[in-house]
Structure 1
Amino acid sequence: MVLIAAVGFTGVPSSASAAERDAATNSLGASGEAFGINDSGAIAGLVYVNDSSAHAVRWAPDGTPAELPKLSGDKNSAAFAINSRGTVTGWSIAGDGIPHGVRWNTDGTMTTLPPLPNDTFTSVSDINDSDVVVGMSRTSDWPHAIRWSPDGTATALSPLPDDDASTAHAINESGVIAGGSITYDVTRAVTWDASGAVTELPTPAGFESSEAKGINNNGVVVGEAWSGNGLNPHAIRWDPDGTITDLGTLPGHTDSGAAAVNAEGTVAGFSRKAYYEPHAVRWSADGSTTALSTLPGDVTSEARAINADGTIVGHSRSVDTSPSGVHAVYWTKDGKVHQLRGL
């Protein structure tokens, strides 16, 4: 998935090589994060300005960044997903820190995505080529999975029977949504079909909870499973034939998580030692694991999304824990890391 351009955007530029992107990257590399990429190579994310405020950005396939507008009076924003039509979805965040889900349309207009009745704010996760957006509506406590139709109408996605809350993280072109159903102390990976019917995905043996984070058009679902109190998560793949695969970790690591899967079955995510020092990883369709490099001088990284040709986006971080220490990056299929340009 990708991010949309600023007001007046009229289409998705043609694909560009890594060399062309690098040529557009100046010495002011982006302090920020990349969250989505489409099959044309456009990238969605955010850039930090003056080491504080966050600005939703779309990087064209040639590496050129374009800032996306905020809602009137809002201070920060972030873009998380874009479809092949060029429609982008993300957050615009008020001065009080309350996020409002928004959709940036290809004609340059913005659509606010409303919360469910009695909820106070929304967050968004994904959008498909039909302009259907998924995310969460919530108050200060329980989240509620939600689907917004192209006209902005909000529909609640019910959790499993007797559960209290739900999360929605990804949607494919058939309208199948991947997420989680939550009770007080247990989360269960689920999918919702286009009609809204919910189906539980089995939690792997040896784990107590699970959550689905990504889904491709073949119905392959990825996410993670963990033991009590969220300890030692492992990246998991659920195949349509019912096969469940623990994707494991890098050598010497204890934790992992899967964020996205492309049509070939290649998975992007992270591996880490306990809660420390995550490293971006790629799992091939056969389950083999490849560590993805950080930028020179950085110490941690995380992969967020992957497109059809295997390009992965995410971030690389230095020991500096301030916003200036995190860098928006992408990895080409050969595993090489490249920094994206700042505004």
Structure 2
Amino acid sequence: MNHDHDGTEVAMNDEYGALLLAPLKTEPAGPPAIDVRRAMLRGARMRRRRRWFGGGFLAAAGAALLTGGLLLAPANDKDKPPVVLPPDPPVPTSCTVSRLDLGGHRSAEMMAGDHTGRWHVGTADPAPSSLNGVLVWHDGKLVDDVPAPSKTAREFALVDVNASGVAVGAANSARDPAYAYTDGKLVPLKGGTGAEAIGINDDGVIAGTIKVGDRSVPARWRSIDAEPEELPAPAGPGSVRVWGISPDGTIVGEIGPSGYLWFPDGSGRPIGAPPGSASVSGAAGPASAAPGPASFMPNGFAFGWVYGEAVNTNPGGTYRYEPMSETWQLVTRETALAQLDPGGRTGFKSIAQDEPAVFVGRAVLKLPNDPELGKAGLGSVSINAVSDDAHVIGGTAISPIADSSKPFAPVIYRCR
């Protein structure tokens, strides 16, 4: 048995050690010091990589409201209207699970769903360095099976879809552009090769990154046929990631060690660390340099909030942040309590669980297992899509020990 960075036991094949570490193969930026915790979290969230993670090491929790309340709100001002925070949906009381049609493929991984729960997209026959196609489901029915868009588009994945069924994604290839799926076909986005399309909202605005020289810079496309607009970013050596887009067009991402927001008017500002979070001091161990400053690693938008993880802080935890009022709330201080996938946009905390559970607001909803999948050796589930009302939840059943002989099986939960 191995252990993860929190000391939790992990059942894993030696053969898959390399696959587990594969998401961390990114180009270094800035000083050579390595923050292991941040690297591991980032690796688990890389959307264009397959999630080859065992699930036996995560414990699920029953449906219950988590502790933790309002941390910070704007100061009282008689001239300002009161803060109205986005309401959380009611937590469902029961859920059923069913498998999705693979269209004759041996294996498939669900990657994302739209906020209504009607559209889902996935990767057919996922494997490292594979030239794979994508699957599209509508209301739980397979409606399209599209081959890879080019001979170099390996590990191609659609990673977000809107309520009109328009999806976006990219390949693990510097030779391909970003792509959109519309009207049954994959269309290259403008902006050149090496671009990534990460999110799309119902207005058709796309968020992602483009290559400018040897740098990735944040960008948005007003539509699938528009030229990309470069978004402002502070100068410096830090890497740039984009993680999602909200219904109003606000984009969330990460620049260097900090979360960052870009607003519909094109302006941007950093997201600081949650209030009251003190930086961890001292060495982080022989494998890394001392931790960096306290910061917030965003995941994406869900239920009107930006969800993410406090990094290099004591205490740590999962938080959510409302950008307009700049309000913070603690979700949980527990590690791996449940999975969180805001609208299918990223996959933070979507490492598979033997007893799957998801966050609904700040509550935890426990999901049922499929006994037949368990018998087939696919006893862990990674959640990759949660509808706004939490009535439709999508994911992928996988082997708890990352057994390469076992296929992936996309599943859908219907809750009420």
Of 202, 207, 210, the residue aligned with 1:178 is 207
Of 123, 128, 134, the residue aligned with 2:157 is 123
What is the alpha-carbon root mean square deviation over aligned residues? 3.9
Q: Which amino acid aligns with 1:132?
A: V
Does structure 1 residue 280 correspond to structure 2 residue 304?
no
Q: Which amino acid aligns with 1:222?
A: V
Q: Contact 2:133–2:146 at 8 Å: present in 1 too? A: yes
Q: 1:83 to 1:119 in 2, by over 3 A?
A: farther
Of the structure 1 ranges 130-139 and 107-116, higher mean CA displacement relative to structure 2 is found in 107-116
Q: 1:218 to 1:304 in 2, by over 3 A?
A: same
- The match for 2:246 is 216
Q: Which amino acid aligns with 1:241?
A: D
Shift of 1:205: 4.8
Q: 1:113 to 1:183 in 2, by over 3 A?
A: farther
Taking the aligned partners of 1:252 and 1:326, their CA distance within structure 2 comes to 33
DSSP-derived class of the 1:129 partner: coil
| Structure 1 unaligned regions, length at least 5 | 1-32, 34-45, 53-59, 227-231, 318-322
DSSP-derived class of the 2:232 partner: coil
Shift of 1:301: 6.7
- The match for 1:342 is 369
Does structure 1 residue 113 correspond to structure 2 residue 146?
yes
- The match for 1:305 is 342
Q: Contact 1:314–1:330 at 8 Å: present in 2 too? A: no
Q: Contact 1:172–1:215 at 8 Å: present in 2 too? A: yes
Shift of 1:271: 2.5
Of 100, 114, 121, the residue aligned with 1:68 is 100
- The match for 1:256 is 296
Shift of 1:148: 0.9
- The match for 1:10 is none
Q: 1:305 to 1:182 in 2, by over 3 A?
A: same
Shift of 1:329: 1.5
Taking the aligned partners of 2:235 and 2:124, their CA distance within structure 1 comes to 40
Q: Which amino acid aligns with 1:258?
A: P
Q: 1:50 to 1:145 in 2, by over 3 A?
A: closer
Instruction: Identify which of structures 1 and 2 has the higher relative contact order when contacts are C-alpha pairs closer than 8 Å and 6+ apart.
Output: 2
Shift of 1:145: 1.0
Q: Deviations over 1:184-231 (max 9, x none)?
A: 7421110011132210111135564423221123221111111xxxxx
Q: Which amino acid aligns with 1:339?
A: K
Q: Contact 1:146–1:156 at 8 Å: present in 2 too? A: yes
The equivalences for 1:96-175 within 5 A come to 98=130, 99-106=132-139, 108-121=141-154, 122-139=156-173, 141-142=174-175, 144-149=177-182, 151-159=183-191, 164-175=193-204
Q: Which amino acid aligns with 2:318?
A: A
Q: Contact 1:269–1:282 at 8 Å: present in 2 too? A: yes
Q: Deviations over 1:123-169 (max 9, x none)?
A: 01111122111111344x555310011x222111122xxx6411011
Q: Contact 1:293–1:337 at 8 Å: present in 2 too? A: no
Q: 1:299 to 1:138 in 2, by over 3 A?
A: closer
Q: 1:225 to 1:303 in 2, by over 3 A?
A: farther
Q: 1:175 to 1:95 in 2, by over 3 A?
A: closer
Of the structure 1 ranges 298-307 and 199-208, higher mean CA displacement relative to structure 2 is found in 298-307
Identity percentage of aligned residues: 20
Q: 1:213 to 1:314 in 2, by over 3 A?
A: closer
Taking the aligned partners of 2:141 and 2:366, their CA distance within structure 1 comes to 27
DSSP-derived class of the 1:165 partner: coil
DSSP-derived class of the 1:315 partner: coil
Q: 1:180 to 1:267 in 2, by over 3 A?
A: same
Does structure 1 residue 331 correspond to structure 2 residue 360?
yes
Q: 1:279 to 1:66 in 2, by over 3 A?
A: farther
Q: 1:267 to 1:305 in 2, by over 3 A?
A: same
Of the structure 1 ranges 195-204 and 212-221, higher mean CA displacement relative to structure 2 is found in 212-221
TM normalised by structure 1 equals 0.64
| Structure 2 unaligned regions, length at least 5 | 1-43, 45-50, 58-90, 280-293, 371-416
Q: Which amino acid aligns with 1:292?
A: V
Q: 1:211 to 1:70 in 2, by over 3 A?
A: same
Shift of 1:305: 0.5
Shift of 1:67: 2.1
Taking the aligned partners of 2:262 and 2:106, their CA distance within structure 1 comes to 39
- The match for 2:67 is none
Greater strand proportion = 1
Shift of 1:279: 4.0
DSSP-derived class of the 1:281 partner: strand
Taking the aligned partners of 1:294 and 1:339, their CA distance within structure 2 comes to 18
Q: Which amino acid aligns with 1:243?
A: S
Taking the aligned partners of 1:77 and 1:306, their CA distance within structure 2 comes to 16
